Chains A and B, each alone.
Chain A
């Protein structure tokens, strides 16, 4: 067993985990942050995507012990000061989710994507979200949400 400390959504969180404990399971079951979802456990669907030092990673393909001491942002940490992030607001505004199971992964992916590329073209948006599966929406409104999020971000005071 290993004692690790993860900085999750800005808060140091301690856990005692076996070496094989997946980061997704550590977040969900050890730390009780169940907003991160697990859809395939083999890194394809992207539902478990979290930000590791700001970069999107598959938490189902990451052992918790390997990220000891690192900064992790989950869907629970996207809002700041009780206000939903522009990406979250855009998804609600554009009907970018139905069952909501894949949504945390899309929100984290989009957050990182728009930081890299604040004004993406249609093609770039599709490319940017093409590592995440959604079975409900047919992606039409997700793509719309990403564009809307870019607009909302541009309006935010930096």
Chain B
């Protein structure tokens, strides 16, 4: 293969349209569609006592108003609980429009359809909903007291409770190991809420074709195939009559994997009922109060360790704030529980979590999905052990690392995919060595001293993580080479900016030996590929990348078979270069893939010059065989699936140097270093981009972003003016280095990279601030005011 593109920093094929205003995002479609808007609850917890639409009915341009009462069977039922789990004994999901009770500010109550969005919002403002107020349950401690309930039938507000225990090699429980340990510590950690906050909100646009009795839905989703199946079921339509397409999507970061959203059910239903196109585009306030948040946890930690800092026993009790509903199940606390162990061999481990309902927006995965909390817990623990023993923080980590010769390493738990938590490969000591070099760990004391001489306060911190990526169950790839020599690649999962069109084209071009310019890639379009799971958990490159590679190998094999017939050669003597099949060492004996595509499809009709070659009187095939041999199919195409036995585990380590202002408590990140290992890289430029973006979101979560709820359950900062996402001026220069430890689990040897950048950032920044200030930083994010307050309380 001369067309080697795997591993190269190939420029993105998506960019030509996106930099010229030719992208097609959800709200760019359906210019003449009717617009939907929603009346949402202004109260966190209330019983609806009446809905008065009289004034609204007068507005010219009104098309329809719907409340829960108006919804038919199927549509009116609660949204599905997407990931059931035995520990989720009290799973609760919302109705698409509130039925009797609202449980968070922002819950939709009435849908309005009107000629345009301005009118739809006017009409919403004329609809009067009356309420009987119920006591809102806000804050984890308030919720666990159980004094007031979010759901009347969920005692103590506990949706799920789960304990996992991994005894030590000699059979001791974590609690026994801790009490027998030479040293013990116990402490509490807090992490607040943030959110995915893609620049494009959610949106859905539906077209009902009455003549064809079919429905086409465009949705800004991370899973078009699953939206399709959910909607066919809810609307009672035959699956082949429903198509779902994810167009260009303006960022996802987790929130768009949840489905079907209320609007995703209601808009298509209304389009069908009204016989007209209907579109809803989420505005920013709706996104804050009507989608999902993540991160909030309280963790109580006990740890026992020896004099070298080796952890003999670790027990963590987690209170996880789930918001009002558990639409996405308990994946986030499960990931926290299982990924907490990071790159370490822990003597014995016990983790217990309670998933708690509060009258706030539901909690579902946001990039990292429970791992930032896990890394915060484990890395703060490592730092506290080092502090207690007076050891260097990197030494304590090194003392606990799983060693390169210990893979595959079984952590003895069940991971989020329901499969054993077995790490496939990694080299943690080498990562740490690279990180120490990159940040200059050993030279830092001198730097600190010279800064101190200038009256400046510096600190350094580090954090490690292991990330299970590429979770199953499967993804597929379809390849078609057409008679013009073009290669059409499709896969069912969706894209939100990762560059899939580029990396999947790199894989196809490399596998098939064709110029990348001839390859086009379609993702997230159920017309092209109906079976898929979705884009989340850093899985797209691993899952669809391998599926596409496998499909390409099938097509290549077929191309060589057909070409071998035509060239009267042995397929084993053939190779493909620049889209031409030729005999190795005899370049003159060759046939272009375009011609192979023609020959692979025996024809009766010659619709063009090329096609003539495959017609029945032109071919020279054997008269003893049918034109399409047994086991073959017409056409140069192929499909395959990749379904892994279990996840593949990427890893990384970050370090930062921060400066804290002695007077103003301003926190500035002076340097930020990342060492990252995601196995073999398909496109290092894109991997770097993923890391950059993740770190920036991590910096946001560490220093700026939190969802501020008051006691009444009002989200006080539901706008970009008050929810502070980092601008260019807040994100430090990010220095990166890579390690490539291939995964033995998949044909391409790759691991996921999407979420990695965000995972350890809060832990790293907390450690660096703690190092600068000399007192524990156990609650993140931290603002200058928070730091100032900590200084005053003398901690």
Residues of chain A touching chain B, judged by Cβ–Cβ distance below 8 Å, are 18, 20-21, 28-29, 32-42, 44-45, 47, 74-76, 78-79, 84, 88, 91-93, 95, 97-104, 107, 125-127, 129-143
B668 adjacent to chain A (CB < 8 Å): no
- Judge if B165 is at the interface, Cβ distance under 8 Å: no
Q: List 8 A-B contacts (CB under 8 A).
A: A21-B118, A37-B250, A75-B21, A76-B21, A99-B199, A101-B23, A135-B199, A140-B733
| Contacting residues, chain A, for B584 (C-beta < 8 A) | none
Contact B692 A42 (CB under 8 A): no
Chain A residues near B118 (CB-CB < 8 A):
18, 20-21
- A-B pairs with beta carbons under 8 A, tally: 170
Tell me whether B689 and A44 are in contact (CB under 8 A): no
Q: A29-B31, A101-B25, A130-B727 are in contact. List 18 more A-B contacts (CB 8 A).
A: A18-B118, A34-B24, A40-B720, A41-B283, A45-B720, A92-B12, A100-B14, A101-B250, A102-B199, A103-B19, A125-B728, A133-B199, A134-B199, A134-B728, A137-B689, A138-B694, A139-B692, A140-B731
Closest to B22 in A: A35
Q: Does B734 contact A (CB under 8 A)?
A: yes
In the complex, whether B721 has a CB less than 8 A from a CB of chain A is yes
User: Would B251 and A79 count as touching, CB distance under 8 A?
Assistant: no
CB distance from B280 to the nearest CB of A (A): 14
Ranked nearest first, the 4 interchain pairs of A and B with the lowest CB-CB distance are A35-B21, A99-B497, A101-B250, A100-B18
A39–B118 Cα distance when bound, in Å, is: 17
B residues 496-515 in Cβ contact with A at 8 Å:
496-499
Q: What is B's interface to A at a CB cutoff of 8 Å?
A: 11-12, 14-16, 18-25, 27-28, 31, 116, 118, 197-200, 248-251, 253, 283-284, 496-499, 685-686, 688-689, 691-697, 719-721, 725-729, 731, 733-734, 757
Q: How many Å lie between the Cα of A29 and that of B198 in the bound state?
A: 22
Task: Return chain B residues, CB-CB under 8 Å to A78.
Answer: 20
| Best-surrounded residue of A28, A104, A134, A141 (most CB of chain B within 10 A) | A134
* Given A44-B720, A133-B720, A142 contacting B200 (CB threshold 8 A): no
Residues of B within 8 A of A101 (CB): 23, 25, 198-200, 250-251, 497
Q: Is there contact, CB below 8 Å, between B692 and A141?
A: yes
Q: From residue A44, how far is it (CB to closest CB) to chain B in Å?
A: 4
* Smallest beta-carbon distance A137→chain B, Å: 5
Contact A130 B729 (CB under 8 A): yes
Q: Are A92 and B685 in contact (CB under 8 A)?
A: no
Contacts of A91 in B (CB 8 A): 15, 19
Verify A135–B725 contact, CB threshold 8 A.
yes
Cα A36 to Cα B20 in complex, Å, equals 10
Across-interface contacts of A141 in B (CB, < 8 A): 689, 692
Q: Chain B's nearest CB lies how many Å from the CB of A91?
A: 5
**A33 surroundings in chain B (CB, below 8 A):** 21
* Residue of B200, B248, B249, B688 with highest tally of chain A CB at under 10 A: B200
Task: Identify which of A100, A127, A140 contacts B734 (C-beta below 8 A).
Answer: A140
Chain B residues lying within 8 Å of A134, measured Cβ to Cβ, are 199, 728
| In the complex with contacts A98-B693, A136-B251, A32-B31 CB distance below 8 A | yes
Q: In the complex the two chains form, is B18's CB within 8 Å of A103's CB?
A: yes
CB distance from A123 to the nearest CB of B (A): 9
Q: Which residues on A sit within 8 Å (CB–CB) of B721?
A: 42, 44
A39 to B25, CA, bound (A): 12
Q: Which residues of B contact A126 (CB under 8 A)?
A: 728-729
Chain B residue at minimal CB-CB distance from A88: B19
Name the contact of B250 in the complex, choosing from A18, A28, A99 (C-beta under 8 A): A99
Nearest CB on B from A51, distance (A): 13
